[in-house]
Chains A and B, each alone.
Chain A
Amino acid sequence: MLRPEPCLRAAEVSFGYASLRVVHEASLQVGPGETVVLLGPNGAGKSTLVKGIIGQLPLLSGTLDLNGSDISRTPAQIRVRQGLGYVPQIRDVFPTLSVWENLTMGGYLLARSGIKERAEQVIGDFPALDRLRRRRAGTLSGGERKMLAIARALMAKPSVLILDEPTSNLAPLIAAKVLEEIVASLAGAGQAVLMIEQRVELALQVATYGYVLVQGQMRLDGHAAQLQETEDLSSLFFSGGAAPLHGGPEAATRGLA
């Protein structure tokens, strides 16, 4: 199965904190209509990789392309302008602002005249938010809050939407709803989605493609259906990455696809 032309491409990127390199020469790509999941045990470096992609951490080596432009040295705010949307794992909305105000802040980069129209469009895509317009975001339920967080990020019409563990702190039923209804519908609408997720089975049901990061190295990648059938996937997680799958880091470039 061929993958679409990527709008986001990370080629052998390394990120870290001060002198500590956490992610080592990892590569991934996301194209329109794809939901790409980034899997891995705790401490594998998934959040570090995403923080690097959105510009919160400096790139130590490798290259980052967004829609064909090199964004390796581009400041975080400019990356947003160039089409990178981000929903953090926690602190994903402005709790003291109303739902409507959160949406308008998501569309901060749009022309003043277009913000209201865009917010109405986004609310049209998330009708549950319609009756909550005036509610303070901090008073929403977990599922409503995550819906708002994703809607806020979509306001700027990002070419790639990055979701950092969208189901963390959610009850299982709500988590399934977020992934199966909200995230799946994004890809259906042609949105490129890169998602970190700990609920592996559920994530692979929704995703089209997946990468497995272990100890900062991309150990495995492939179409979601193929990854679901990979017997060693759970052992890779539980071993904490001690036992590399398919011959170690080289597998990252080879993948399953």
Chain B
Amino acid sequence: MNLYIEAIGFGVIAASSIALGAMGFTLQFGLTNVLNVGYGATMSFGAIVAYAAHLTGMSIWLALICGGIATSGLTLLSAKTLLRVYAKRGAALFEMAMVTFGIALIVEYAIASITENNTFSLTIAIEHTHALGPIRFTDVQLALVILAVVVFILLDGFLRLTKVGTALRATAVDPDLARASGIATGRIVTIAWLLSGFLCGLAGGVFTIDILTVNAFTGDSLLSLVIVAALMGTAGSVRGAALAALLLGIATQLVSAAGASGYASAVAYGVLAVVLLARPKSVQGGLVADRVQITV
């Protein structure tokens, strides 16, 4: 029994990186309708940058911020160059997903080339271990959970309590009406790319700290859970993404505790299948009912 309770603790820790990634993904998809299947590669980029920054002697937490900022820039760059070119040519949802897949290949193999396809280990000194009943966790793991919670609170507050945040939600719901209300939707979409890129990079870095290794493809192992959490929580909903990430983190760790770790991802997709059967509108980007408008 203790094993399963412990697994719940590990699930909460694993949920930190899933939640950060899913919040970024849902924000990006909800606002732009670009199904970014290359999101895993940009998470890898964020993780590698954070690792490289840490190697220079920077604290791991500052390095995480560096990874987030660099990924934010990369995300905006790809949105305003390649994605914009294809969007202007009238590319629809599937074509845009393929473009993001292409960008992912470029990013991942560029990183693999630079790093000579090595996998690097991260060493972080553990000063204290805490216990909550049978659940044991380190300072660092606790910090990761707190980081995810703080980011969630800040992001949710930004979206609900600020003028620009509300405009982000309004533009996600109906870009035409947003424009007719005088909202500069182009600027709002740029903010969404930057913000989602930052969260993406942060997620990659947090995942690396959790598993203590990083390579050019690190983000890919997190990608499926991130996408499932974002879609389960309804595209565009940060609260939904965070809650779904928590549930998925716990579910996958419970499956592993039951000795079926190989099926953890399958469980995630199973949960998604059930959610989509019950609420098929979950996958609608932009929460717009009758059409998909790519906005980059």
Contacts and interface: CB of A to CB of B under 8 A. Distances in A.
| Interface size band for B | 10 to 19
Contact of B166 (A77, A104, A153): A104
Interface stretch (A4-12, A88-96, A186-194): A88-96
A115 interface: yes
A102 to B, nearest CB: 8
Interface stretch (A58-66, A105-113, A118-126, A221-229): A105-113
B161 to A, nearest CB: 10
Contacts of A109: 182
Contacts of B174: 91, 94
A94 B183 CA distance: 13
A183 interface: no
A95 to B, nearest CB: 6
Contacts of B169: 94, 96-97, 101
B240 to A, nearest CB: 12
Which of A77, A81, A101 is most buried by chain B, counting CB atoms within 10 A of its CB? A77
A201 B131 CA distance: 76
Given A95-B173, A97-B173, A108 B167 contact: yes
B180 A94 contact: no
Interface residues of A, number: 26
Interface string A53-91: 010100000000000000000001100110000101001
Contacts, number: 61
Residue of A56, A106, A108, A153 with most partner-chain B CB within 10 A? A108
Interface string B51-82: 00000000000000000000000000000000
Contact of B167 (A56, A76, A96, A105): A105
B163 interface: yes
A24 interface: no
Interface in B159-201: 163, 166-167, 169-170, 173-174, 176-185
Nearest to B174: A91
Interface in A179-199: none
B287 interface: yes
B180 A54 contact: yes
Interface string B147-167: 000000000000000010011
B180 A105 contact: no
Given A96-B169, A96-B287, A97-B170, A108 B182 contact: yes
A28 interface: no
A152 interface: yes
A86 B182 contact: no
Contacts of A92: 177
A101 B164 CA distance: 12
B179 A108 contact: no
Contacts of B170: 94, 97, 101, 105
Given A96-B169, A101-B166, A115-B163, A108 B177 contact: no
Contacts of B166: 97, 101, 104-105
Contacts of B182: 77, 80-81, 108-109, 156
A108 B163 contact: yes
A98 to B, nearest CB: 10
A200 B257 CA distance: 70
B177 A88 contact: yes
B112 to A, nearest CB: 41
19 contacts: A54-B180, A77-B179, A77-B183, A77-B185, A80-B179, A80-B181, A88-B176, A94-B174, A96-B287, A97-B166, A97-B173, A101-B166, A105-B166, A105-B178, A105-B181, A108-B163, A108-B167, A109-B182, A156-B182
Given A76-B180, A106-B181, 11 more contacts: A77-B185, A86-B180, A88-B177, A88-B180, A91-B174, A94-B169, A94-B173, A94-B178, A96-B287, A97-B166, A112-B163
